[in-house]
Amino acid sequence: MKLPHLTVIGGGQMARALVGGMIDQSVLDAEKLSVIANSESTGQWWQENYPGCEFYTAGSSEATDKAIAGSEIIMLAVKPHIIPTVLADTQGHLMGKLVISVAAGVPLAKLTEGAGHKRVARVMPNTPSLVGEGASAYCSADEVTAADVESIEAMLGSVGYVAPVTEGQLDAVTGVSGSGPAYVFLIIEALADGGVAAGLPRKTALDLAIQTVRGAATMVRDTGEHPGVLKDKVCSPGGTTIAAIRSLEQNAVRGALIDAVAASAGRSRELAQ
Ligand SMILES: NC(=O)C1=CN([C@@H]2O[C@H](COP(=O)(O)OP(=O)(O)OC[C@H]3O[C@@H](n4cnc5c(N)ncnc54)[C@H](OP(=O)(O)O)[C@@H]3O)[C@@H](O)[C@H]2O)C=CC1
Ligand SMILES: O=C(O)[C@@H]1CCC=N1
């Protein structure tokens, strides 16, 4: 499936990962993309990396009259506190458009009020979308059609896993997969640090850490076995791994990760206020 013309408002990390990933996966042509943001440097980044796309300065009449008017889908990819500004800038111009927001915590009720209609979806994606390994969940308001859902699933599905959820579940999604890549990056960095502390060259340690996380995740997915069962198969009686697991449990790693997910979900709920 090829997407119709898309305008993304906000051209930062998440737009680069999601929309960049969609172009890389050929579901969107750069010629059918308009980007609206503040700085010239952001415009240059998009035009250098995705020649053929158009860039417009936020708040300009061209942004609304050319980019938004000429697009069927509008994606909001600005920070949550900027969403009211964007909705004010685009007031009256979003009629007849499918509006998709990736902003953490901003509820459908606020988005539909600002858009002036209910053809609005809320998505929580994550940055591995850039390499086609994203994890996204979405919910939609009342006027989103079956064809719109197909477009949303095609967009998100082209860059990874996608699941429909209720709006009430999106804060938890943010805690697990929206923020989740940061936890895993931190774990990879720490594993590599551990390798260096134990005497490995930095590059070898990092390469081994990356492949171990990738291999373990693939094994959970492909075998369908419970992660606890797979963990038990690594632990030889009286061996090295159970000594390490004991250390992890003494340092309350499970509790720390559960608390991390809850903290992110809680912050997402706060952003809705
Ligand atoms: N980063 C992540 O991993 C994830 C982020 N999200 C959500 O994505 C959204 C964007 O986050 P992220 O990409 O990290 O943020 P960034 O700060 O990287 O990007 C924000 C972008 O918004 C642009 N911008 C600022 N003000 C305006 C305006 N008034 N009109 C149009 N554009 C504007 C900025 O322009 P300029 O570049 O010119 O300064 C910038 O390109 C957030 O709501 C976040 O909750 C969701 C899931 C994961
Ligand atoms: O940190 C944030 O607020 C955004 C939302 C999820 C990931 N990054």
Closest-CA residue, ligand 2 atom 7, reads 179
Residue 175 falls within a domain, yes or no? no
How is 189-221 classified by DSSP, letter by letter? HHHHHHHHHTT--HHHHHHHHHHHHHHHHHHHH
Confidence of residue 21 (pLDDT cuts 50, 70, 90): confident
ipTM of the assembly?
Answer: 0.99
Per-residue pLDDT tens over the stretch 191-200: 999 999 999 9
Separation of CA 225 and ligand 2 centre (Å): 30
Q: What number of H helices and E strands is found in the chain?
A: 12, 8
- Closest residue by Cα to residue 110 from 138, 147, 82, 149: 82
Q: Is 78 annotated as a binding residue?
A: yes
Give φ, ψ of 136 to 5 degrees.
-130, 150
Per-residue pLDDT tens over the stretch 124-164: 999 999 999 999 999 999 999 999 999 999 999 999 999 99
First and final C-alpha spacing in the chain: 37
Instruction: Point out the ligand nearest to the CA of residue 89.
Output: 1
Q: Is the pLDDT of residue 36 over 90?
A: yes
User: Do 166 and 196 sit in the same domain of this protein?
Assistant: no
Look up the CATH number of the domain holding residue 38.
3.40.50.720
Of 146, 170, 194, which residue constitutes the final position of a domain? 170
User: Do 142 and 251 sit in the same domain of this protein?
Assistant: no
Q: Is 14 annotated as a binding residue?
A: yes
Q: Is the pLDDT of residue 207 over 90?
A: yes
Domain that holds residue 18: 6-170
Q: What is the pTM of this model?
A: 0.96
> Which of 60, 78, 87, 269 gets mutated to test ligand 1 (max ligand atoms within 8 A of its CB)?
78
- Closest residue by Cα to residue 158 from 5, 17, 47, 9: 17
User: Do 39 and 164 sit in the same domain of this protein?
Assistant: yes
Which two tokens mark 168? Answer: 């009430």
Which ligand 2 atom lies nearest to the CA of residue 268? 3
Would you tell me how many other CB atoms lie within 10 Å of the CB of residue 93? 17
Instruction: Point out the ligand nearest to the CA of residue 18.
Output: 1
Residue 1 falls within a domain, yes or no? no
Say what the pLDDT of residue 166 is: 98
Which ligand 1 atom lies nearest to the CA of residue 39? 38
Amino acid (one-letter) located at 225: E
Q: Is the pLDDT of residue 7 over 90?
A: yes
